[in-house]
Amino acid sequence: MAAGRGGPVPPFQPGDTVRVSVRVVEGERERVQAFEGVCIARKNAGINSNFTLRKISYGEGVERVFPLYSPRISAIEVVRRGAVRRAKLYYLRARRGKAARIAERGREDNRRERVPVTGSASPETEA
| Mean pLDDT over each residue of the chain, to the nearest integer | 85
Sheet with 50-57: strands ordered across: 60-67, 50-57, 29-43, 17-26, 73-80
Is 113 part of any domain?
no
Is 120 part of any domain?
no
pLDDT tens for residues 93-103? 999 988 988 99
Q: Is 103 exposed, middle or buried (0-12, 13-18, 19+ CB in 10 A)?
A: exposed
Domain limits at 21? 1-93
Cβ atoms 12, 40 nearer than 8 A: no
Is 62 part of any domain?
yes
Is 99 part of any domain?
no
Residue 18 — very low, low, confident or very high, per pLDDT cuts 50/70/90?
very high
Is 118 part of any domain?
no
Is 45 part of any domain?
yes
Strand partners, 55: 62
Q: Report the domain count for the chain.
A: 1
Q: For position 59, which CATH number holds? A: 2.30.30.790
**In terms of Cα–Cα distance, which of 55, 50, 61, 9 is closest to 34?**
55
